[in-house]
């Protein structure tokens, strides 16, 4: 995987459940961000890597610059799973805009992911 997008960071601070923003962002990543997405993974497995790649692609195509992604590796910080009640991985949690939404899986089904994020209405 090449360089990380500046709107993406990996959670490393297990003490308070927040991460330090990249240098290019203000101290509050949600201040100018319409979408706050948290992706829970477990190591660099094929499913985890696919979920990261698919999430980047979906955000680039549908959210332009209005998003912030936090990737949380539960092998490094397992205690963070409790806060969002994570029971399976990979899991994407849409923190903002509210209401909170969760999508389980590698996000390879773009249509299902867009419906889950409420970016597209559910087909009847």
C-alpha span between 70 and 17 (Å, rounded):
11
Q: Look over the chain and give the mean of its residue pLDDT values, rounded to a whole number.
A: 79
User: Residues 57, 117: contact at Cβ < 8 Å?
Assistant: no
- For residue 33, the model assigns a pLDDT of 64
pTM: 0.74
Residue length, the chain?
Answer: 124
User: pLDDT tens digits for 56-72?
Assistant: 999 999 998 889 999 99
Asked whether the CA dihedral 93, 109, 54, 78 is positive or negative, the reply is: positive
- Cβ neighbourhood burial of 124 (10 Å; 0-12, 13-18, 19+): exposed
Percent of residues, the chain, with pLDDT higher than 90: 63
Chain centroid to CA 25: 17
Where does the pLDDT of residue 79 fall: very low under 50, low under 70, confident under 90, or very high at 90 and above? very high
Going along the chain from its start, the domains and CATH numbers come out as: 32-116 (3.40.30.10)
At 124, the pLDDT band (50, 70, 90 cuts) reads low
């Amino acid at each position: 995987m090449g360089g990380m997008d500046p709107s993406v960071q990996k959670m490393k601070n297990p003490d308070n459940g927040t991460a330090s923003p990249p240098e290019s962002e203000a101290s509050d990543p949600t201040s100018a961000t319409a979408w706050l997405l948290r992706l829970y993974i477990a190591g660099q497995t094929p499913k985890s890597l696919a979920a990261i790649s698919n999430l980047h692609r979906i955000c680039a195509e549908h959210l332009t610059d209005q998003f912030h992604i936090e990737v949380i590796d539960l092998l490094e910080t397992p205690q963070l799973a409790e806060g969002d009640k994570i029971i399976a991985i990979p899991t994407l949690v849409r923190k903002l805009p509210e209401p909170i939404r969760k999508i389980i899986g590698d996000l390879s089904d773009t249509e299902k992911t867009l419906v889950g994020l409420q970016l597209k209405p559910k087909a009847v």
